[in-house]
Structure formats: C-alpha cells, structure tokens
Structure 1
Amino acid sequence: MGAQCSSIANLSNNEQLFQLCGSIPLTANDPAWNQLFSFNLQIPLSNSENHEFIEATANLFQVLESNNQATRNTSSLLRVFLARATELKASAQCDNRIFIWQTCNALFIVRSIFSHWIRLEKEAVLIKKFSFQQEDSCESLLENLAVQLVEILVDVPLREETALLHRECIQTLMLLLFVAASSYLTNNKSIIFKCLMHGPGALHAGLLTRTLLQHYCQQQPVPVRWLRKPEQGGSIVLGLATGLWSLLSRSSSSAEPVDALSDFANQSLLLLLVLTNHCSMEKNWSNPYRQALLSFTDSQDPVQVSPVHPSACFRLDYSVLYSTLCDRLGDERTTLLLYMLLHQHQQFRNYVYTHADIQRMVIALLQELFKGDDEGSHHLYMSLIILLLLSEDEGFNSNIHNVIIRNPLWYTDRVLNEVSLGGLAVIVITRTIQRNIVKASDKYLHTNCLATLANMAAYFRRLHPYTCERLVSLLCTLNKRRIRVVQQLKSSDVEGASREQLEQDLSILEEVLRMLLEILNAAFTHQLGCNQNLIYSVLHKKEVLDVLRRHPAFQDIVANLDTVSNYFSNRISQLSEPGVNEILHSIQLGCVDFPKDQLKKFPELKFRYVEEDQPEEFFIPYVWSMVQSTSALCWSNDDMTIGSENEAK
C-alpha cells in the first residue's frame, strides 16, 4: 500500500499498514492516512479473491486486535473516512478522481477489518470498538457509518469514477447488516437496524430503495474500463503503474468471469432484499424500506396516486421492472423480489394481472418448475407460490387459455407443436406433483401445486389432449401407489417407524387423489362444453373411477364423475364405428344436452396463499443464504450462522 504498487504477497512488509495495526496511536489528522489510502493494490472483486485477501492479512489483523484497545486506531480510521464521506458529493461534482479513489480505498480498509472481526465479535462489541470517546459522551461511529453509506449511494451519482465506491458501499453495508441481523435474531434488538429503520438512516429509506431498484431494473454492469486508475496529474500519487483495478491483466484462470465481477445490478438487489426482509414484524417501528418497496407507484400512470406510506416517495416505470423480472426469473433473487411484489404490492399485482404479455412471466416460472431437480428447493417453492398468487385472479385463469404457445423447446418430455398457456401450466404442475410424490413426498410443495390447479380448474378450456392425458394419468398412477401402500400396511412385517412412514404416505396420497377428483369435477361443472378432450381421457381410464368409488373418502365426488362418464359412455355405445374423431364429435354434441342439474353442488375451489405466522423465520435465513452463495463477499460456513440456526421448512 502507500504510493507503490502493492500485492497480497508483500502486504506484511507495508509500512503504512503496520502503522495502522501497530502500538502507536494515529490521530484523525495524521498525514499517514493519505499515504495509506494511496495504495495501488488490486482490491479483491470476487469471492475467491476476497478469501485470499482475508487469509493473507489474518496475522496483521491479529496485531491490530491486540493493539486497538490502546491505540483506538480503528476509530480514527472511521472518523477519517466519515470526514471524507461528507465531501464526496462535491468531489464527484468537481470530478476529483483522486479524492474519490482514496476514499474508496479507505472504505475498503474498513470493510477488510469488518471481514475479520465479524467472525469474532457481536454487534455491541463492534460498536464499542468503533466508537469515539469524548469528554462527556461516546459517539457511535458505526451508526454514523451506516448513515453515510446510505447517503453516498443516494447522493453520489453512479458513473465511471464513482462505480468502485458504490460497490464498496454496498458490500460494507451488507457486512454491517449481517452483524445487525445476528444480534436481531438473538435478542430481537439491533442498534444498527434501529438506526436504519427508525433513526437517522431512515430519512433516506425511500430514496435508497428507489436507487437500488433502479440499478436492478437498468441491469447496467460496471464496465471493465471503469475499473481503472484515476487520471494521473499533479497529485500526491506518483507511482501508479497499473491502476487501481488492473482487471485486464488478471489471470484468465480466475474462478469468476469478468461479467460476474461487475454484477452491480444483482448486488444492489441483494442489499435491497436484506433491507426489506428484516424488522418486518416489529411493533415499535416499521421497516421504511419495505414500505417503500411495497407501495411505489407507476411513473407511466397518468393518474397520480397518493403514497400509502411517507417513505413511498418515488415512482418507477412498472413496464421496465416487469420486463427485467421476466428476463431474470431463473435467478432466485429475482424470484423473491417478484414474490414480495405480488404478495403485498397491490398496484403492481394488479398491473401484472392485466399485462398483455403475461406469458413471458408464466413461461419463465414454468421453466423453473420443469427444471425442478436442478434448482434449490427454495427457488422451486418461490416459483410455485408466485403461480399460486397469479391463479388467485379470475381474469388470469381465463386469459391463459386464450394464449397459444408454439413448440416450447425447453419442454423436452414431448414435442408440443401448439398448446394453450393454461394447458402448458397444467402439464408442468401435474408433472411436478408426480415427481414430488415419487421422490420426496413434500406435503408443502404438492399442497401449493394442487391449490394452483384448483384455482384454475373452473376455467379449463380446450385443453390439449396431452394435457388431459397427463392429468388423468396422474390420478391413475397415484391410485396404484395408494393400493400398493395399503397392501404394505396389511403386512405384519411392517412395524414402528416404517409403519408410521407408510401411514403418512397414505394420508398424502389420499389427500392428493381427493383434490384431483375435485379438480376434474370443477372443470366438468363449470366448463363441460369446452372440455371434450378431458371427457375423452376420463372415459379412456374409466376403470380408475370404479376403484376409487369403493373408498368412503371419494364416493361423493366420484358420483358426479360417474354421472358424466355414464352419460357419455351411453352415447358412444350407440356409435357403429367409434373412432377417435367420431367419439369426440359425439361428446361435443352430447355436451349441449347434458343434464347439469344431476350434478351435486360442491363448494367452489378457491385457495389463497397465506404466509406463515412468523415469516421472518424463513425469509431471513433464505436471504442470507443467497448473500453467501451469490455475493462477492467472503463467507465461511461458520460465519453464516443466520442461515443454519434458523432454517425453516
């Protein structure tokens, strides 16, 4: 560090770094800070590089740990950064690249210290270490840092000379929030969260939410050309040979590609998800970032809607956000954002329900369900819950049968030259149920699958023959499995845990079978004339009804299906040469005269998604697991206790 070009290998010989870690106190006005902040080290950009840096500096920071209580050099470092941060806006306007660069380096040093100390210390201890003791008071520098990071992200425009600073702000704020989250989940208290949610940091909550959401919508990567040194000139920095971030000379064997190193949009989204998924259940204060995210208005709507919450002080183009969401639903961070918006942002939900290009979103979600085993279970759950939320709208359920999809190449089980979007959804959801029952028997997953199909059932129209075949085939497959489980339970060899498991499997199978029967009944009750292919498939597998009719749990609903089956069987029996086309034609004519009054009325199938009583128990660990797996920060398994101690579902 200092004015010479540094490398990780020779950090242990760096004079300025030794001054910071040593036993001699540095005041905030010491000229050594300028030398320290003028280093030309390739600051780590990727997770692997951050890990290498943390390992290489472990001994130095042990020295800092032992000396800091006496020197308070970390507090002086933070005071210097905070003083510089207040001047950043003016420096950005004046294009003072040297000042911006040095401030970015100062923040990197602060983040490096955090990266070491969060493994060892709790929030209260870190706040004490980074405090400034005056004669009659103690200033919490970490709270001031959190506020300054928010203000930098909001006030300093993102462009070439500030891109690295923005990136450091996001990462440092993420580390602060990790410390705060650990404290929050332990005793439901956090000084940093209180500052950001209820204190000075909350003043810019709406603006920060808008800024992060705009970064995400724009999907603007930080170009490699932005990751270069500031222009040389008459400055104190004389030895900059390779620049701040000489990425072009990085080894081609680096674990992360260049575009991943400049994944600025998704890092912004990660920070937004962290901010909005904590403190959502607080009684004493509300989360202003969450309020802003769930109530911003459409900038293209000519009708000015008054914000529901004071923090909802911004407007954003819904169409741009919608397009970005649809394009990136393969990323679980995007899926979680869409879930939050659909579940609790009424205006945006209404916009999605009525969007002319709804197939973009639905197809992207169906692709994630189809991949299934290749994705993490939480991502699968989120995709499915979003489909359930969409199916709560009657207009959506009706419209998806008017949209024709031609040859979806990602659906590799069979060639589908032409199928309705609704029919494709039924195929993929029934496939998900079948795979789940066979492999995992995850009740949570199949319950949401069935609820989605049930909401759609009364709107089934002109289903593709393959769609109908898969739906009825699922009924037959699960019934065979039920019979096999019943036979196993009759065996005297099955005892203890094995018997309990079989009884649980039987309960799940009977629940799924009952719901599938109700789904078929709803389709026939409400849309009989538009479901000739479904009637044909039921007639083709009529024997399954004969078996299910004997089970007390199914008799009432099977009676309705028998009425339909018997009526059309009688008509078909009168055909002299009953080919497929002749049978379908007979069914079509028979629908006109079918005596609907003979069908028993059942309650309308209508399901709504409801979050668990304590949603934070699931969402906080989930968000931090995404930070661990997708951020450039260096996390060890021991660090991420948030993701293991409170894992839900």
Structure 2
Amino acid sequence: MNNSKNVSATPLTAPTRTLQAPEPTSSSSRRIVNFNKNTDNLHNNNSSSDVSVPVSPHLELSDSFAALSTSISSSATATTPTVKASPYYFNNKYTSQQQIQHSTNINSPTITENYSPFFSSNQLAKIKPICSTVNITDWSFLSTEKYPSSLNQQDAIDLEMSTIGLSIELAANNMKTRNLNRLMDHLLELFENLQRIQNQDIIIPIETYNALLLTRIFIKQFADNLCNQEIIEQIEDDTSRKRGEQLFKHLLYILTNMDPSSNYSTYEFYVEVLNTFFVLISTQLYQQHLFKMEGEEDNYFLNLLMTKFHNRAETIVARLFENFIAQHLPPPQPPAGALYTAYSYFFSSGRNSFHYQQNNSSPPVAERSLLLLLLLGNQPENDWTKSYRRAIANLNDHHVISSDMDSCDGGKMHLISFKNLLDIFLKSIHVEEKMLLFYLILVENESFRVYVLSRTDQEHIYLPILKLIYESMEGTSKFSFSQVYILLTILLMFSQDDMNNDAIQKITVQNIAWFTERPLLKSISLGGLMILVLLRIVQLNLSQKKDAFLHTNCLAILLNMSSTLSDMHSYIAQRIISIFEVLAKRYIKLMDNQQQQQSDDFIVYEDLLILLMEMMNSTLTYRLKQNSQLVYALLQKREIFNPFQSNPRFIQLVQNVEEVITHFNTRLAEANLKAPSSNEVLRLIEQATRTWSNHKLILLPNLKFSYHQDPTTSSEFFIPCIWALIQKKYFIYWSENKSHILEAYKLINQEFDE
C-alpha cells in the first residue's frame, strides 16, 4: 500500500438552533432583539472523498456557535411614577421596585423582605439635589462620608431599588440642569489628580470613589432605559469635551496602571472601575440585533471603546489576564480606628467586606477581569473588535526565550504565565466562565495551544473534561447546553494533533470511579477512556437528546484519533462493534420501508455508520498490528457488514474490513483448533499479523476533521452566554424582563435540557 492520501481537514462547526420565544403579551416593550443570521452547512473540503457529514433531522450544522437564530419579544411592561416636566416618555421604560422583586431569580425572602436603603438618610439627602431642578456647582459633599460599596447580591438589589426614582428624576431634569454632566466633569478632574500621584500605596480619596459610584449608578439607569440617542443627548451636551471618550480614557489608565492589591481602598476602587466598564457597555443587553443592521443606532459606549481605543487592546488584554492569573485576595482592612479620622473609609454599614465562595468563584478583581475579557474577546467581528482577538493571539509565555522576544515585529511582547493560567483552568474547568476563557485562548493563541498539548501530564487535562461530559450525559450533574458543546469542541481541537493522540494512548489511568458504565474496569489508557466516554455520549444522544452536533463531534474526534490507536482494550473493541451493530439494525429497519429511505433519520444513521466505518478502516490501515482486540471483535461479528456490501457509499470500506476478516479467519482455520479460548485466538491473531500487508487494502483518503470558528457568527452564541454569567454574579442588577440576550440564553438551554 502506498502512502496515504490526506483529505484536507473538514471544518467541523456548531449547530444552528432556531428558537421562537412565547408570544409577547405587550407590544410596548422598549427593545426587541432579533438575531437572524445565514449559516453554512458543514462541508468536506475534498470532493473526492466518499464521506458526507451527517445532516440532522433536528438541527443543521452551521457556522461556528451560531446557535442563536432567535426571535424574542419581551412581554415586560413597567409601572412608572409620574414625573413632571419630563422631556422623555418614561411609560414602559423604567423598571419599578415591584418589577425588581418579580424578575429576580431568587425565591429567598432575603431579597424582598430584608430590603434596606443602600444610602444612609444623610447621604441620600445630599444626593437628591443632583436629580432635582437645582443646579449643582459645589461637589464638596462628596468628600464628607464614603458611600457604601455594592459587594453582593443583596447590595445590588438594595442599590437598584434605592436609585430608580432618583434616576427618573435626573433624566427628567438633567437636560436643563446638566448636573450629571458636571458630575462627570468633576470626576474627570479627580481622575487627573489621581494620575499625578506616583505613590503606589495611595489611599483613594473618598471624593473620587463617591463620584465614580454615582456616575456609574446614573449611567447604568440611563443605559437600561434610554435609547442610544437619548443617552448621547443626556451626556454629550458639549461636543468639544467628549465626556464618554474622556471617561474611557481615564478608566483605561486606571485599569492598566493601578495595582489593586496595594491596599483595601485601591482594591475596592479598582472593582468599581471594572463595574463601570460593564455598565457602560451594558446597552448590548437590550439591542435589537447583536449585529448592527442598516438604519440602526450604534451602541454608543461600546462603539467608543472599540473604535477610539482599539490600539490599546494588547495592553488591556494583557492586564486583564494578569489580574485573572494573580487571583489577588482583597487586602485586609486596617484596624477600625487607624484611619477613621483622617480617612473615613471604613465604617460599620455591613456592606464593607468582600465575600465570595472560594470553591467556585475567583476574588472580585480576578472574576470581573475574566468576564470583561470574555466580553471584549467575543464581540461581533469588525476592523476594531479584531484587535482584541489579535491581542489574545499575541500573548506569550513569560518563559519565552530572548531571541523570540527580539523577533516580535518591533512591538512590545506581552508575557503571562501559561503554567499558572492552565493550573487555574484545570482546578476549576467546571466553572463556566473559566471554561469559556480556556476555550477562547485555545482557539486564538497558538502558543498556548502548543504549550497545553506539549505537557507530559495530559491526564490532568483530559480527566476533568471527560468527567464533566460523562456526568452531564448520564444525568448525574447539572451542566448547561453551552458547556457540553464547548468541552467537546476543546477535545476536537486536541484531537487535531496526532502526536498528542499518540501520547494519550500510552498514559494509563486507574480506578476511574465516575465511569460507572464498566465498574470493574480497573486500568485503561487515557485514550481508551476517551473513546469509551465519546461512544457513550453517542449512544445516549441518539436515544435521548438527538442533537446532531453532539454525535457528529464525538465521531469526528474518534476519527481524528483512529490512526494513532494502539493496544486497544477488549471492552473498547466490543463497544465500537456493538454501537455499529445497533446503528446498523436501526438503519436496516428504515431501509426496509421505502418511504423512510428519504427521511432525515435514515440519512443520519447512514452518515453515522459511514463515520464509524471510516474510523475502523483508519485503525486497520495504520495500526492493525497494535490492535488485535479490534480484529478479534470483527471476526466475532463479521455478519453485521453483509447488508452494506452492495451500498455504493459503503463498498470500499466494507471491502477493506472483509479483506482483514478473510485474512485472519483463514489463519484461524489453518490452525484447526477445537473450541479455542479467547487467549488462544488472540495469540493466533498476533502471529498472523506478521504476514499481514496493507497492500491488500484499497487506498482511501485519511479523513480528518478540524474545528473552525467563524468570528462573524460565533458571537451570537457567546455574547448571550457571557451576559448571562455576568447577570448571575449579581454584583450589578439588570432586569431580566428587558435583557433579551438573557432570554435567548435561557431558551437555548431549556431546549437542550428538554
């Protein structure tokens, strides 16, 4: 047999899901989202291959993670207090306190029964004039007493309920008073003063923190409830000042230059800076289309960030990664009396300690940096957003050699610790946002991907992923639709590397307690365990979920691994043949019914059988001598291939299998053994491999699958997932009734669960 022909890698992509939301109960909703995107079918790049990829009766495989072809209408209506002299129509815009209670996903009485005002009465009395018809020119009150921090879910709810009425009043009066504009101007001056201080151990002035918090609060309400043009009219009354652009300029300076771990005040302030970034770009939650359609307004703040500061993407991305890798805990607060007089920073409001679940969550700065990274790195692709993906791609390990640094196109090379980053991922791969970042950097950064695949402890990488997928399909863990897809995609990317496929065949794992399908399986290769898990997913998916992406992706991974399989366990060989036999019986049953031969199910089963045959053919072609157990399993079930001998799509594949069966069956017959044991048969098979030659087989292309992400459509899948994760963190409250992207996320996961 001559050297194999390699088929160009077949790009495997994610499914399209067309979801229809329930009919709206009101037509007065503020914003309606409608993600409509044309998608391309999965296709093979080599027309000479006889292999076609399955077409699902339920889903159509399409552009990478373009999973949200969604038409969603919100049914939310709001009860709004009467506002005099308002330049805007607030009806059905602002969210009432009752709606906050109704739309929060918490049944606990903590939210509704234990509500308390976020600000003290003295603080509130000084804030209210900002929202009134009075022109405020003296901001000294901001330096008298530090406002509390919003550090948890209850704080976020209390803050929202405490500021709705104030924000409505401010929106009604600000066009005349311009108090918000003057507040922002004052904040920008305070930022400039802060930048002049070179001391790394600086204590953040109360006035600066308070001004930032109020600005964030009011802009958040405007972003929630006003359209793009209204936001611009409220903020940009003086085009020469460009307040939005200046605000981003200073926030980015703080983000990239301040050390949040210096002391408690810098940590708390840095968290508030990150919160402000989320608020500024949160109008994306309410967009009519994730992709800007003709005649639609831009997302003002997000557009500013992407167009005006894209040249700083590499520094921004590197700093966010550094924050995430560092996992800095909040510094301890000073003793109660130490700084109280000179700096009234710490007071007993009950809102001043950072709390988080260390088993699942990262510290606040690391967590918010991670979420902001995901948002920036997954935006719909254009000339400006590409810069963030390029920034992720250009990151390098801090162990990079000096010669590599010198050849970095004359630019600055940003270095992070790949080892520490991977360690975080492996310890918490079950945490969805960390899984998403692991996926993102694997897709974008070749250096990190090579680093991961070059590790000698691959079991520490594969076992957590296999466990999560297996338990999710077995129903022993609650895993979302998006997580299963992403983990399978990660495995598909790994399977594109033949050296890695070969390496995991040589790693032995023992006593895998979570693998309950075969409890007595005490020892097996890591590659063998992966095959068993993927075959189990195929079996369960075909009987339960019937999701095309799941079984096609699993078989694509198996096919990529097939030419490197060695020392196959007897149970693996039996499972491969038994699944083929089950699929063959269903296929033959459909084939006997002429009407069913044109059905989607018939096509799916035929394509799955083709892929399994391709897998077996590849292993027999390249690793037959190392896989006696597969030959033995074929000899035991040779009759299951008979119905496919005359099918044009199967002919060559079946002929190769029959050639193998005939050769070894002949050698067994020549031995003339009476009732041989399995060990005797295996010994004869191993002896017969010495006279086996691949030249007897028909030369077939070596079919390979690769993962291709189309960044122009992948954001339709990822952006809703990321915003849903941010919303779940509850460090800022957003109304679910108006956040249409969150509704899309819930719908796709509900469909998967069903």
Give the TM interval when normalised to the shorter protein.
0.7 to 0.9
Residue from 559, 571, 582 that aligns with 1:466? 571
In structure 2, the residue matched to 1:452 is 557
Counterpart-to-counterpart distance in 2, 1:295 and 1:44: 35
Is 1:179–2:280 an aligned residue pair?
no
In structure 2, the residue matched to 1:21 is 131
Is 1:510–2:594 an aligned residue pair?
no
Is 1:206–2:317 an aligned residue pair?
no
Counterpart-to-counterpart distance in 2, 1:185 and 1:39: 41
Counterpart-to-counterpart distance in 1, 2:616 and 2:465: 24
8 Å contact 1:207–1:313 — kept in the other structure? no
In structure 1, the residue matched to 2:482 is 378
In structure 2, the residue matched to 1:232 is 339
Counterpart-to-counterpart distance in 2, 1:202 and 1:525: 51
Q: CA deviation at 1:422?
A: 1.0
| Cα 1:548/1:627, change in 2 over 3 Å | farther
Is 1:566–2:662 an aligned residue pair?
yes
In structure 1, the residue matched to 2:230 is 125
Is 1:320–2:397 an aligned residue pair?
no
Count of equivalent residues: 617
In structure 1, the residue matched to 2:74 is none
8 Å contact 2:324–2:370 — kept in the other structure? yes
RMSD (Å), alpha carbons: 3.2
| Cα 1:461/1:44, change in 2 over 3 Å | same
In structure 1, the residue matched to 2:68 is none
| Cα 1:365/1:484, change in 2 over 3 Å | same
8 Å contact 2:147–2:210 — kept in the other structure? no
Residue from 327, 344, 353 that aligns with 1:219? 327
Counterpart-to-counterpart distance in 1, 2:362 and 2:337: 20
Q: CA deviation at 1:402?
A: 1.2
Counterpart-to-counterpart distance in 2, 1:261 and 1:340: 18
In structure 1, the residue matched to 2:367 is 266
Q: Which secondary structure state, in structure 1, belongs to the residue aligned with residue 462 of structure 2?
A: helix
8 Å contact 1:85–1:103 — kept in the other structure? yes
In structure 1, the residue matched to 2:166 is 60
Q: CA deviation at 1:244?
A: 7.6
Residue from 395, 398, 402 that aligns with 2:499? 395
8 Å contact 1:158–1:166 — kept in the other structure? yes
Identity score, percent: 24
What are the residue-to-residue correspondences of 1:411-490 with 2, within 5 Å? 411-415=515-519, 416-486=521-591, 489=593
| Cα 1:287/1:11, change in 2 over 3 Å | farther
Is 1:553–2:649 an aligned residue pair?
yes
What are the residue-to-residue correspondences of 1:36-51 with 2, within 5 Å? 38-41=145-148, 43-51=149-157
Residue from 133, 137, 158 that aligns with 2:260? 158
Encode CA deviations 1:71-121: one digit per residue, 9 max, x unaligned.
21111222222222223345582745360x442333222222233222212
Q: Which amino acid aligns with 2:395?
A: F
Q: CA deviation at 1:602?
A: 1.0
Q: CA deviation at 1:20?
A: 1.9
Residue from 639, 642, 646 that aligns with 2:741? 642
Further displaced range: 349-358 or 629-638: 629-638
| Cα 1:309/1:47, change in 2 over 3 Å | farther
Q: CA deviation at 1:531?
A: 0.5
| Cα 1:479/1:328, change in 2 over 3 Å | same
Is 1:146–2:146 an aligned residue pair?
no
| Cα 1:620/1:241, change in 2 over 3 Å | closer
| Cα 1:121/1:220, change in 2 over 3 Å | same
Q: CA deviation at 1:460?
A: 0.6
8 Å contact 1:400–1:422 — kept in the other structure? yes
What are the residue-to-residue correspondences of 1:531-542 with 2, within 5 Å? 531-542=627-638
Q: Which secondary structure state, in structure 1, belongs to the residue aligned with residue 241 of structure 2?
A: strand
Residue from 439, 443, 450 that aligns with 1:339? 439
Further displaced range: 410-419 or 190-199: 190-199
Residue from 657, 664, 677 that aligns with 1:579? 677
What are the residue-to-residue correspondences of 1:281-292 with 2, within 5 Å? 281-283=381-383, 285=384, 287-292=386-391
Counterpart-to-counterpart distance in 2, 1:190 and 1:326: 36
8 Å contact 2:245–2:304 — kept in the other structure? yes
- Return the structure number with greater helix share: 1
Encode CA deviations 1:196-245: one digit per residue, 9 max, x unaligned.
2342x34543222112101222233336x35997943543749x641684
Q: Which amino acid aligns with 1:443?
A: A
Residue from 196, 221, 243 that aligns with 1:116? 221
Q: Which secondary structure state, in structure 2, belongs to the residue aligned with residue 290 of structure 1?
A: helix
| Cα 1:433/1:261, change in 2 over 3 Å | closer
8 Å contact 2:360–2:428 — kept in the other structure? no
Encode CA deviations 1:526-548: one digit per residue, 9 max, x unaligned.
10010011222222333322334
Counterpart-to-counterpart distance in 2, 1:232 and 1:632: 27
Q: CA deviation at 1:181?
A: 7.3
Q: Which secondary structure state, in structure 2, belongs to the residue aligned with residue 633 of structure 1?
A: coil
For CA contacts below 8 A with separation 6 or more, give which structure has more relative contact order.
2
Counterpart-to-counterpart distance in 2, 1:631 and 1:10: 19
| Cα 1:229/1:553, change in 2 over 3 Å | farther
Residue from 694, 700, 705 that aligns with 1:607? 705
Q: Which secondary structure state, in structure 2, belongs to the residue aligned with residue 440 of structure 1?
A: coil
Which ranges of structure 1 fall in alignment gaps of 5 or more residues? 1-5, 492-498
8 Å contact 1:164–1:227 — kept in the other structure? no
Q: CA deviation at 1:156?
A: 1.1
Q: Which secondary structure state, in structure 2, belongs to the residue aligned with residue 375 of structure 1?
A: coil
Q: Which secondary structure state, in structure 1, belongs to the residue aligned with residue 168 of structure 2?
A: helix
Q: Which amino acid aligns with 1:19?
A: P
Further displaced range: 399-408 or 305-314: 305-314
8 Å contact 1:180–1:191 — kept in the other structure? no
Counterpart-to-counterpart distance in 2, 1:311 and 1:510: 53
Encode CA deviations 1:384-404: one digit per residue, 9 max, x unaligned.
111111111121111111111
Encode CA deviations 1:18-52: one digit per residue, 9 max, x unaligned.
1222220112x4323334xx2453x3222343133
In structure 2, the residue matched to 1:73 is 179
